[in-house]
Chains A and B, each alone.
Chain A
Amino acid sequence: MNSAQKNILVFIFLGAFLLPGCDPIVETYNNAEDAIYYESQTINDVSTSSENELNVMTWNIRFGCGRIPFFGDACGDRVVLTEVEVNTNLDSVVVRINREDPDILLLQEMDRSSKRTNYIDQVQYLLDNTNMNYGVYATIWNSQFIPSDGIGRIDMGNVILSKWKLTNAERIKLPLREDQEGIVQYFYLRRSILKTQVQVPGHDNFYAVNIHATAFATDDTKQKHIDTYLETLESLANEGALFVTGGDLNSLPPGADSTDFCLEDMCEDDHYHEAGNEPQHKDGSYFENFENEPTILQPLYEAYEPAVSIVDYLENEPAYFTHAPSTSDRNGTYYDRKLDYLFTNISNGWKPSSDQTHQDYKQISDHMAVSAILQLP
């Protein structure tokens, strides 16, 4: 072999060796994949916790953004938060979690490695600063770079935290929106359901399931998400498992008194509902994009037990609203709809009158937490 041939071989070798170094810019996923496991730096003693009465809470914490006017959903122009802003907001979340002291916590919109939140791993942050011991994470938006509005690198997802060990954690893929152009869809959210077994002593087949369904789709993607969610829950129930589930369903309870919040949510200079307006409705503020969207959660209410019954809800809707848009101050009301839920398949599983809609969390997120006491058989 002469020197020229050796040079060619060196060149080819280097090229072949280096090729595996490239990761996809946008992560894509199979139908079901393992979730990512976390553990607190300090494992807290859970022997004093009741193993038959679990305090369960769900909360969309808005990636530690608090009420900062973020560009995407708050009529604002902020995109990249400072480290102090994120830590301050996370500390407020920590205070509420420690005050409520849940045994199982379903969280949505948690950032792990995102430019907008200074790359702070919020899952680890909450684990290390609360009484929760274990966590699992499933991303809903994971890209090395989003070339829009300066978002940059992002990894946001759903999380389940627990005082007890979590096993068999699974990320279940939800369908992509189909009302977007290909390039937008490629860089857009890839939502998921997070399912995990919770090792509560004496209950070897107990699961927690967390979902964050689409907010802004204008087609029937939301229906597909709820259908996948129902299939996941039904599958667990058919296996004889007990579960608690919930999350930000971005859907209204059946019978809600309004399905159109465009005028309440619209920013200055926005125009909706008038001839010539395009679009006619504000994305995420209108709940009649397809037939039966207003009753999309009816099957969920029929199959499982809600922490807040539909009867209680309809008797006093404002008391159970969990969403407060950025325009709340302008409108003089902080809460305008219920989007966040807890359900279980345990018969009479919720301790009567134990449910709370934490509307006092209004300065920490645009979603209010919902909690209730679950009684295991």
Chain B
Amino acid sequence: MKNFLALTLIVSSLFGKTENWSSHSANVLQEKRIEIGLFQPLRIGVSGGREWSTHPVYFFMMPNVSLKKTRNVWWEFDVSSRHSISYPTPLLNMLARQGTGGIISPEFTFPAAVIIYNELLFTWEEQKPYNITFKLGVSLGLAAENISKGSTIDLPLAYHRFAPLYNGYGLRTGIDFTGKVTEKIHYLLDADIQILPGMEGSFAVEHKGMISWNKNDYFRISLGYKLVHGEYPFGTDTHILPYLPMAETWVPFMDFQWAWDRK
């Protein structure tokens, strides 16, 4: 079960923090709309131009919550801010164990620690049906004690996501480009850059391509890939994900999403 949850975490992280499935944008969900996916967070639109979200699948291993709130329009951009906090200590201690599934050496014990991420999103919708969103954020890692750098998980996504715990902070910027092929088929292309000053692996460039078939406003299926080029303690490396180890092949990730409206 633990292995399944850990796998789910890794797969779900491919999707990052997505928004309303119609666009990766500064827009928030409509009030009373709820969305959830196999690997995507549970999102709830509430009043006041706000949206709460959490990853329920691994909530009990890594409690997390995120709030997105619309801000004023700036020039031709819709602006929102997103603020999230996660508590990765239980997850990391679960991964630090002997035997199969020991992702981190059991010689390390993780203290209480949180990762706080704040970002601004700027969406330019003048070019419809295209939609361009710029993102700029900063993550802060706070830990009760110093964490040994020998305990890093030197894998794509994981290394840079948890890096603020070791480094104290990180910067992230990116651009999302979404559009429609047809009314029911939408696509997303994005690129993000993470900068982690002082870390041995000090940067990562992530790119995601995804195509979705929207059956209606309440169900959709997505297929895609994620490319990560980054620096790690062993040097730079490039990965395309997901990757099946024993089959030695890349496979597209697939997700199913559902939505409904609260009464």
What residues make up the interface of A, taking CB atoms closer than 8 Å to B? 4, 7-8, 10-11, 14-15, 18-19, 21-26, 71, 77-82, 113, 115, 118-119, 144-145, 147-153, 182-184, 186
Whether A145 and B155, one on each chain, are in contact in the complex, defined by CB atoms closer than 8 angstroms, is yes
Complex Cα spacing A26 to B234, Å? 16
Residue B146 interfacial (CB < 8 Å)? no
Residues of A within 8 A of B180 (CB): 4
Whether B245 and A25, one on each chain, are in contact in the complex, defined by CB atoms closer than 8 angstroms, is yes
Whether B101 and A22, one on each chain, are in contact in the complex, defined by CB atoms closer than 8 angstroms, is no
Whether B209 and A147, one on each chain, are in contact in the complex, defined by CB atoms closer than 8 angstroms, is no
Complex Cα spacing A8 to B250, Å? 20
Closest to A114 in B: B234
Residues of A within 8 A of B233 (CB): 115, 118-119
Whether B100 and A148, one on each chain, are in contact in the complex, defined by CB atoms closer than 8 angstroms, is yes
Whether A148 and B107, one on each chain, are in contact in the complex, defined by CB atoms closer than 8 angstroms, is no
Central interface residue in A79, A81, A118, A151, by most chain B CB within 10 Å: A79
Central interface residue in A7, A81, A145, by most chain B CB within 10 Å: A7
Sample of 11 further A-B pairs with CB below 8 A, known A148-B99, A148-B102? A22-B243, A79-B106, A115-B150, A118-B150, A144-B155, A147-B101, A149-B102, A150-B106, A151-B105, A153-B234, A186-B246
Which 3 residue pairs are nearest across A and B when measured between Cβ atoms?
A150-B105, A79-B105, A80-B150
Complex Cα spacing A15 to B107, Å? 40
* Contact code string B96-132 (vs A, CB < 8 Å = 1, else 0): 1011111111111000000000000000000000000
A15 and B225 in contact, given A7-B181, A149-B98 (Cβ under 8 angstroms): yes
Closest to A182 in B: B246
* Contact code string B144-180 (vs A, CB < 8 Å = 1, else 0): 0000001101110000000000000000000000011
CB distance from B201 to the nearest CB of A (A): 11
CB distance from B149 to the nearest CB of A (A): 9
CB distance from A157 to the nearest CB of B (A): 15
Complex Cα spacing A15 to B181, Å? 17
* Contact code string B239-263 (vs A, CB < 8 Å = 1, else 0): 1100101101010000000000000
Selected from A4, A14, A81, the residue in CB contact (under 8 A) with B209 is: A14
Which chain B residues in 208-242 approach chain A with CB under 8 Å? 209, 211, 225, 227, 229, 233-235, 237-240
Q: In terms of DSSP, what is the predominant structure of the interface of chain A?
A: mixed
A150 and B103 in contact, given A8-B181, A80-B151 (Cβ under 8 angstroms): yes
Residues of B within 8 A of A113 (CB): 234-235
Residues of A within 8 A of B96 (CB): 150
Residues of A within 8 A of B182 (CB): 4
Residues of B within 8 A of A183 (CB): 246
Complex Cα spacing A35 to B229, Å? 27
Residue B189 interfacial (CB < 8 Å)? yes
Whether A18 and B227, one on each chain, are in contact in the complex, defined by CB atoms closer than 8 angstroms, is yes
Residues of B within 8 A of A15 (CB): 209, 225
Whether B246 and A147, one on each chain, are in contact in the complex, defined by CB atoms closer than 8 angstroms, is no
Complex Cα spacing A4 to B102, Å? 46
Whether B248 and A24, one on each chain, are in contact in the complex, defined by CB atoms closer than 8 angstroms, is yes
Residue B39 interfacial (CB < 8 Å)? no
Residue B187 interfacial (CB < 8 Å)? yes
CB distance from A170 to the nearest CB of B (A): 24
Complex Cα spacing A10 to B240, Å? 17
Whether A21 and B103, one on each chain, are in contact in the complex, defined by CB atoms closer than 8 angstroms, is no
Whether B99 and A149, one on each chain, are in contact in the complex, defined by CB atoms closer than 8 angstroms, is yes
Complex Cα spacing A118 to B233, Å? 8
Whether B250 and A19, one on each chain, are in contact in the complex, defined by CB atoms closer than 8 angstroms, is yes
A-B contact pairs, 9 of them (CB 8 A): A4-B180, A14-B209, A78-B107, A115-B233, A118-B233, A149-B99, A150-B102, A150-B108, A183-B246
Whether A80 and B227, one on each chain, are in contact in the complex, defined by CB atoms closer than 8 angstroms, is no
Complex Cα spacing A203 to B157, Å? 53
Residues of A within 8 A of B237 (CB): 144
A21 and B227 in contact, given A147-B101, A152-B154 (Cβ under 8 angstroms): yes
CB distance from B108 to the nearest CB of A (A): 8
Selected from B107, B229, B234, B245, the residue in CB contact (under 8 A) with A80 is: B107
Selected from B107, B207, B229, B243, the residue in CB contact (under 8 A) with A79 is: B107
Residues of A within 8 A of B245 (CB): 25-26, 186
Selected from A18, A144, A147, the residue in CB contact (under 8 A) with B103 is: A147
Residues of A within 8 A of B98 (CB): 71, 149
Central interface residue in A7, A77, A149, A184, by most chain B CB within 10 Å: A149
Residues of A within 8 A of B179 (CB): 7
A77 and B107 in contact, given A24-B248, A25-B245, A115-B154 (Cβ under 8 angstroms): yes
